[in-house]
Amino acid sequence: MMAMREIRVATMKEEEQREEEEDNTETKPAVEKGIMAWKRARASSQRTSHTTKDGETRRRAAKKLLPK
């Protein structure tokens, strides 16, 4: 009687572990894609923005110089 209960508990634990592994494999690529997209966007913004000595970006400084 006790052996049957132990076997049942062991199989339940194995099933739970399998389900958790399946859940992790499904979400991992989506998370990685999000991280990679964030890194690309961050790198892109760092390439395009440049701050002048007075703390303004090039784009803002250029707008001030343009005639209205």
Let me know: does 55 contact 48? Beta carbons within 8 Å. no
How much is the pLDDT for 60? 65
How much is the pLDDT for 49? 61
State both tokens at 43. 């790198």
Distance CA 41, CA 50 (A): 16
Let me know: does 52 contact 58? Beta carbons within 8 Å. yes
The pTM score is 0.31
For the stretch 18-58, pLDDT in tens is 888 776 666 667 778 888 888 887 776 666 566 666 766 66
How much is the pLDDT for 47? 60
Please give the DSSP secondary-structure letter assigned to residue 55: S
